[in-house]
Amino acid sequence: MAELLRTNRLLVRDWSAADAEAALKLFGHEALRRWAPEIADLPGIPDGPDATVMQEVLQRWAAEQRDMSPGTGRWALVALDGGALVGAISLLPMPVPEADVEMECQLAPEYWGRGYITEAAWALAQWAFEHSLVELFALVPPDNTRAAATAQRIGMEWVGESDKYHGQSLQVFRLRPDDLANAVRNRPG
């Protein structure tokens, strides 16, 4: 299981089939499914917990990871203290245009309000900029105030509202290296 990076409190690493039970619990949270349609549609989630199906999903993610463009991927977020799977974070090609990259993240509700995603998103964005990305985006439903606040905490700039992604109207936030550097006052830790 390849480790991508560590922050003060989190390990960002590849998914493995051994995460299936913990991943089902994470992605099964109603609060995550509400805001992340791609999670609600994951095989194994809508029809009730199925660890075998989740294992297949995680194996597919691990296989796809090997062929993904530099600066993109899907990773598990693990608490360094105790080793619990606390969330998920990804950098994935956007549907239009395909060259753009979207950061997506999910955190188990019991860990909200600790700055975990700010910490992980910050470190991952820095990694992405070191691996050839020049900008990245977040697409946030208008009433997802937590996700919008996290985007702004790491320095993302609101660039507009669009209905060309994921079949719904979404707030578009963009992050460039200078934005991340200028948001240093918010830096976790």
Ligand X SMILES: CC(C)(COP(=O)(O)OP(=O)(O)OC[C@H]1O[C@@H](n2cnc3c(N)ncnc32)[C@H](O)[C@@H]1OP(=O)(O)O)[C@@H](O)C(=O)NCCC(=O)NCCS
- Give the whole-angstrom CA distance, residue 131 versus residue 148: 25
CA-based nearest residue to 137, from 111, 176, 110:
176
Least gap, CB of 66 to ligand X (angstroms): 26
Count of other CB atoms within 10 angstroms of residue 66: 8
Q: Is the CB of 59 or the CB of 115 nearer to ligand X?
A: 115
Least gap, CB of 181 to ligand X (angstroms): 17
Could you give the C-alpha distances from 186 to 103, 115, 116, 153, in angstroms and in order? 19, 10, 13, 6
Task: State the residues that interact with ligand X by CB under 6 A.
Answer: 31-32, 35-36, 104-107, 112-118, 138, 140, 144, 146-147, 150, 153, 188
Which amino acid, one-letter code, is at 162?
S
Q: Is the CB of 36 or the CB of 128 nearer to ligand X?
A: 36
Q: Is the CB of 71 or the CB of 188 nearer to ligand X?
A: 188
Least gap, CB of 42 to ligand X (angstroms): 13
Q: Is the CB of 56 or the CB of 104 nearer to ligand X?
A: 104
Please name the residue that has the structure tokens 């349609």: 37
Find how far residue 178's CA is from the centre of its chain: 21
Please name the residue that has the structure tokens 């922050």: 7
Least gap, CB of 21 to ligand X (angstroms): 19
- Give the whole-angstrom CA distance, residue 19 versus residue 86: 11
Q: Which residue is nearest to ligand X (CB)?
A: 115
Least gap, CB of 113 to ligand X (angstroms): 4
Q: Is the CB of 32 or the CB of 45 nearer to ligand X?
A: 32
